[in-house]
Amino acid sequence: MKIRITALLIMAAMLLSLGAACGGQQGAQTTAAAQTTAAATTAATTAAAAKAAETTAAKAEATTAATTAAPKTTAATTAAAAATTAAKAADAVQPGAVPAIISSIDPKYAEFKYVLPGGIDISKEVALTMYVLGDMPSDLDLVYGEVNKTLKDVLNATVTCKYLSWGEWSEKYSLILASGEDVDLMFTADWARYSTESAKGAFYELTDDFVQKYMPNMLKTQDPVALKQATINGKLYAIPKNTAGLEGENWVMIRKDLADKYGMSNIDSIEKLEEYFLAVLENESGILPYAASQGGGFGSTAWRQPQRLTYLTNIDWCYQSRGTTDAPDFSEITYAYFRDDAMPYYELMRKWEELGFWSKNAISNKDQTRDSFENGKSASLTWNATIFAAGRNLRKNNPDWDFMALDINPGTPRRQALYTNDAIAIADASANPERAAMFIDLVKSDIDFYFQICGGIKDKHYIIDQDGKRDLGPDSDKYPWTPSLWCFNWNDKNIPRYAAALAEEVAFIEEQAKYIFAPDITAFRFDIEPIKNEMAAVNALRDEYRPMLELGMNADIAKTVAEWKQKAEAAGLNAIHSELERQYNAWKSTL
């Protein structure tokens, strides 16, 4: 490489000397000037193509050769100076391009390519650390080996992705942000302490100037509504995903092979689900009806959905919307866990616990309910649309096992989700917030890098079929699609759709989407800053009492709820309610 660059620079200088030798005539002077420009351009282009890996000796050789070979004429001197400048330019890191993976299969994807913002120095290599929530895929290191090759080439950076499991995230999340631990990027969401941590100053403020400078590509595709939803008191602290589906809706997945065995083909109510659980309990050995843990329960399917409850953004206050879009009077809004309609739910969970539908040690269970379902130790799973990935893993683990997704509240209105259900923030303690922002910009704007980090390795973790659709690869279970990287989700219309192998999932979600409604209160965001201490205390009590009630661990439910309520009020529940009322009514008056 260094020999080739040197030779090109010498040739440029020789061309200039030939032009200079023709001096004295106007035409010759014009030729020399043109050659000077062409040679300088050639030299600069050639040197710019060199990467930082070119040695200092190679760059020095290029400069010396150009200076020695050129005659002492004005044109030659100019060329030598251009060559020297070009050689010095090799000291700066020249960005590469993300390898074409998806952009080459269809011209419509070619527009989604990252362009390095101008005027930004990336000569210093940086190492980023990112935290996400969930289960770490087994092929993580393999995938990030490829991801970091691209990152090094494009941004002169690398990233380490660390996972906080569902069993530990609530305990460790805030500690990591507060401890000054090495963290640059952190998954966040309305349900994952976005407002709380923003109020603490844990997240880096993304000003308009900062976003324009370091994330300009993202702005071309990101829905402006998403950024508006993430704005707290006029300030932006995170970049949300770019797709909105159904709001926190959970469905139930069961073992179809077992349901068929018991002659249960149409389970569409909580009562029929209970019958299925009883059949499993009475007829199967080594299988729990539901492998409960502190991290998940039937709150959505057995309470919130049938009661038509709609929650305010980022807090545990809700109202009974019944699918209407109008913002309610504040008198209808209450703290969720003390509502009258919560009591029958707590009682049902107590009944199921006494029947033995889950372990007596469920509250301390660190095993993931999804893992237990996939491994055949649990006959059901309740979660969001990711239940289908668990179902596919179940099938893969044993060809005799099969799954079936249930909607036990058919026809229930489904609130349109917020973009801020999943987002990515830059830690305020980050040593490299600018490069962290550029990393976000790259994932959100370059379709090839998006597939690399969210899909894994093509033909291994996913495939693109002959029709240009995305399907599961042979090792899809080792790196599932967007493994806890939902914060980076693109708008589905901009990426290859799922292929036929996932048709059952698409059909199920499309059926649920028929009942989507978008309530006005989506635009309201509660600013917790005035009562952040009270909110922290009340949330701590919620985390203490809710698992006990949702897993049926308390014999005297009324006494437990009364005790919780008394402590919550002492911790500031009423003060929070009053501040919420003030802000809500001020917001509603603008409608």
Write a three-state SS string for 218-263. Answer: HHHCCCHHHHHHCEECCEECEEECCCCCECCCCEEEEEHHHHHHCC
In a shared domain, residues 388 and 271: yes
Compute φ and ψ for 475, nearest 5 degrees.
Answer: -115, 35
Residue 543 domain-assigned (yes or no): yes
Residue 102 domain-assigned (yes or no): no
Q: What is the pLDDT along the chain (591 residues), one digit of tens a residue?
A: 333 333 333 333 333 333 333 333 333 333 333 333 333 333 333 333 333 334 344 434 444 443 344 433 344 444 445 444 444 444 444 567 888 888 888 888 888 999 999 999 999 999 999 999 999 999 999 999 999 999 999 999 999 999 999 889 988 999 999 997 899 999 999 889 998 899 899 999 999 999 999 999 999 989 888 998 899 888 999 999 998 777 656 789 999 999 999 999 899 999 999 999 999 999 999 999 999 987 668 988 999 989 999 999 879 999 998 778 899 999 999 999 999 999 999 999 999 999 999 999 888 887 788 899 999 999 999 988 778 889 988 998 999 999 999 999 998 888 888 899 899 999 999 999 999 999 999 999 999 999 999 999 999 999 998 888 888 899 999 999 899 999 999 987 788 877 766 778 888 888 888 888 888 888 888 888 899 999 999 999 999 999 999 999 999 999 999 999 999 999 999 999 999 999 999 999 988
In a shared domain, residues 422 and 498: yes
The residue out of 509, 540, 566 marking a domain boundary is 509
Residue 448 domain-assigned (yes or no): yes
In a shared domain, residues 197 and 323: no
473 Cα distance to chain centroid: 21
In a shared domain, residues 206 and 173: yes
Residue 519 domain-assigned (yes or no): no
Residue 256 domain-assigned (yes or no): no
CA separation, residue 218 to residues 224, 447, 453, 528 (Å): 11, 12, 16, 28
CB 432 within 8 A of CB 180: no
Residue 515 domain-assigned (yes or no): no
CA separation, residue 359 to residues 353, 356, 377 (Å): 8, 7, 12
> If DSSP codes are grouped into helix, strand and coil, which group holds residue 464?
strand
Domain of 267? 262-415+524-588
Please state, in angstroms and rounded to a whole number, the distance separating the CA atoms of residues 167 and 219: 35
In a shared domain, residues 289 and 360: yes
Residue 514 domain-assigned (yes or no): no
Compute φ and ψ for 68, nearest 5 degrees.
Answer: -70, -40
In a shared domain, residues 552 and 410: yes
CB 368 within 8 A of CB 276: no
A 10 A CB-CB count for 24 gives 7
According to DSSP, the β-strands at 185-188 and 423-426 are: antiparallel
In a shared domain, residues 270 and 323: yes
The residue out of 60, 89, 118 marking a domain boundary is 89
In a shared domain, residues 504 and 377: no
Residue 207 domain-assigned (yes or no): yes
Count of all residues that appear for the chain in the document: 591
A 10 A CB-CB count for 223 gives 15
In a shared domain, residues 285 and 370: yes
In a shared domain, residues 290 and 232: no
In a shared domain, residues 551 and 407: yes
Q: In what order do the strands lie in the sheet with 126-133?
A: 157-164, 126-133, 185-188, 423-426, 238-240
- We report the CATH number of the domain holding residue 323 as 3.40.190.10
In a shared domain, residues 409 and 528: yes
The residue out of 454, 474, 509 marking a domain boundary is 509
Q: What is the pLDDT of residue 196?
A: 87
| 187 contact partners, CB below 8 Å, separation of at least 6 | 130, 131, 132, 133, 422, 423, 424, 425, 484, 487
Domain count of the fold of the chain = 3
Q: Which of 259, 200, 94 is nearest to 425 (CA)?
A: 200
